[in-house]
Amino acid sequence: MPNRLSSSVNGLNLALASLIIVVVFYVSVFGVFSESYLRVGMLLVGGLLILLSQIERSESPIGKLLALVVAACLSVAVYQYFRAASEIETGLYFLTSADIWLGLLGLIAVIELTRRSVGMVMAAVAAIVLIYGAFGHLAPGFMRHAGMTSEELVQVLWFSFDGVFGRPMATVVSTILIFIIFGAVLELLTIDLVLVKLALAATGRVRSGPAAAATVASGLFGTISGSAVANVVGTGVITIPLIKKRGFKPHFAGAVEAAASSGGQITPPIMGAVAFIMADVTGQPYLTICAAATIPAILYYAGLFMSISSAARDMDLETAEQPKLNFAWREVAQIIVFMISLTAIVVAMVGGSSPAYSGFIGVAFAAVLGFALKPDLLTNISSWLKFVRSAGMISAQLVVIVGAVGIIIGILNLTGVGLRFASLVASYAEGQLVVSLLLMALACLLLGMGMPTVPAYLIIVLVMGPALQKLGVPIIHTHMFVLYFGVLSAVTPPVALAAFAAAPIAGAGAMRTAVEASRLALPGFVIPFAFIYQPAMLLGTGYDLKDSAQSILFVTLAVLLISRACYPAKGKKRYVPVGLALAMALLFFGPWVSWVAVAATIALFYLVRFGNFLIPENS
């Protein structure tokens, strides 16, 4: 009997995951069939998939019972929504007492599903904000709001498109999930493993070897993975042992993978799916977002390479000749398939196709070409089951997470606390831009800790975005500033999810790994400030090519100076304050001071031999 029950749960699990994939394909090709049924139905299917998976794994009868209770709460709340779906869409539905109670059950179920998907931090934030919405009229000071009835609260958060089922949910189910499936297809075709091998081959003669390879591989795959933690787990199991084998300390190996994996979330063309949400929220074209993000992403990885190279310079590393990596013709073809698929996505968007349809084209190219190279995968049942489970589960978790984000956004809009927070920051800073930016950077890091990239970005930009825009910062620069600090919260103690995921793989202490990852990624903490003081570095935002080239030069030199200062050469520490001062001059004091700093930087590079960027093993 238990075996039959387990088999039934497993079968239902696969059916729900398959349903998600089928719906995503349908919406990508034919468009949204019904806003209500798509958004609410996806939440129901995703929530049930998560709960069934946990019932399948759980050995505790109490754990199974609690999962069933949550499933029942979600189901009845969704059923009540569907009963009134047509009236809700027209805004003519008035809640009954049953609606209020069932809506509250639905909100509680979403928070519990979030806890089961990504842990306590995100769930606690959503729960606290929900409680604040209900009882914030009793709060002290600027946090107090005018108050709202339970009917108003549930109406907005559950029975409307302004809460759980708001724009983030719409963007995810209609646009982003196809790119989750795209990443799962690449894993099915084992292209992710070939990318790691390519990175190892490309960095074979670099002294830092596998550490540089981890940076390349994580950057390549991180852009489509949608999660820094997933990227750490996916590529880190291969790269971290190789980094340690080369002679790097365990905590450094984990830090390299964490910092590199986090960078994938800011790397075009997909940016871990954030690019599409940013385009939707800002109202800017997707290609404008990609153009603006390109140079900062390159500079982030250049700084990371420089930091790793500088750290490797004075380490007693294993100098034994590394084995040569030969690529079979099929592996070379897999790399070409990856490039063709990404190119197809971008070309389709340039041609005017929707992001979702462009993602479908990318999946189609990858699948057709990939299975032509590896036809045996077509009949590999275990690989297909893994693909369905992986794509379905990641999609389900993302849907649930943005449902929790919808609760937060709904409450912040109802109470206006985000705008009051912006006014508070402005009053503390007294119009000083640099003070405002520092306060907001700290707030972004705190708000983003423990959260995946998409919800972190959405929550932070809603709270912090108005404060930056009140200071006259353009909208794309505002959103990029917020995104960078939201992403970097994944390596910032005390809650550094990417570093904490890398630490056990490396066999190192979690906090020590997080501190080292922050040190490696330090240029990434400075680059967002350059968005404000050197705004022309963001391409496609209306600046002349000459101004853009000048800004890019200034920021590039500043990033290299900061990276070198993080790991100074033996006997050269006295130059660190000089390098940091020059970096500040390059970024913050206008073009005339910056050009003087350029000349001084070149002289400093020559003086301390900063030019040795790549150090061969035999050097």
Secondary structure string (H, E, C) spanning 348-370: HHHCCCCHHHHHHHHHHHHHHHH
Residue 331 has phi, psi (to 5 degrees) of: -70, -40
From CA 514, how far away is CA 498, in angstroms rounded? 8
Average pLDDT over residues 239-248: 80
Residue 204 has phi, psi (to 5 degrees) of: -60, -35
Q: Which residue has the higher pLDDT, 280 or 113?
A: 113
Range scoring the smallest mean pLDDT among 114-123, 204-213, 330-339: 204-213
Whole-number pLDDT of residue 610: 47
Give the residues across from 616 on adjacent strands: 206
Cα-based distances in Å from 547 to 236, 268, 271, 446, 591:
39, 22, 26, 34, 10
For the chain, give the mean pLDDT.
Answer: 83
From CA 481, how far away is CA 293, in angstroms rounded? 11
Cα 535–540–545 angle (5° rounding)? Answer: 75
From CA 231, how far away is CA 251, in angstroms rounded? 18
Percent of the chain with pLDDT over 70: 90
- pLDDT tens profile 134-148: 888 888 777 787 788
- pLDDT tens profile 9-40: 788 889 999 999 999 999 999 988 888 889 99
Whole-number pLDDT of residue 110: 94
Q: Coil, helix or strand for 8? A: helix
Per the rule left: phi > 0, alpha: psi between -120 and 50, beta: everything else, 496 is beta
Per the CB < 8 A criterion, the answer to whether 34 and 8 are in contact is no
Question: Model's pTM, two decimal places?
Answer: 0.78
**Which pair of tokens denotes residue 360?**
């479908």
Per the CB < 8 A criterion, the answer to whether 401 and 408 are in contact is no
From CA 516, how far away is CA 240, in angstroms rounded? 14
Residue 429's pLDDT band (cuts 50, 70, 90): low
Average pLDDT over residues 451-471: 76
**Which pair of tokens denotes residue 129?**
């904000």
**Which pair of tokens denotes residue 212?**
């540089």
Cis peptide before 616 (omega within 30 of 0): no
- pLDDT tens profile 547-579: 999 999 999 999 999 998 888 877 677 888 888
**Farthest CA pair distance, the chain:** 80
Whole-number pLDDT of residue 300: 94
Residue 206 has phi, psi (to 5 degrees) of: -85, 140
Cis peptide before 269 (omega within 30 of 0): yes
Extract the runs of DSSP E, i.e. beta strands, from 47-87. none
Whole-number pLDDT of residue 180: 83
- pLDDT tens profile 507-528: 888 888 888 999 999 999 999 9
Cis peptide before 210 (omega within 30 of 0): no
**Which pair of tokens denotes residue 147?**
């108050």
**pLDDT at residue 618 is higher than 50:** no
**Which pair of tokens denotes residue 292?**
């603006």
Q: Coil, helix or strand for 237? A: helix
CA-closest candidate to residue 231, choices 243, 214, 247? 214
Average pLDDT over residues 327-336: 83
From CA 508, how far away is CA 387, in angstroms rounded? 31
Helices (H), ranges, 203-227: 210-225
Q: Coil, helix or strand for 246? A: helix
From CA 253, how far away is CA 504, in angstroms rounded? 11
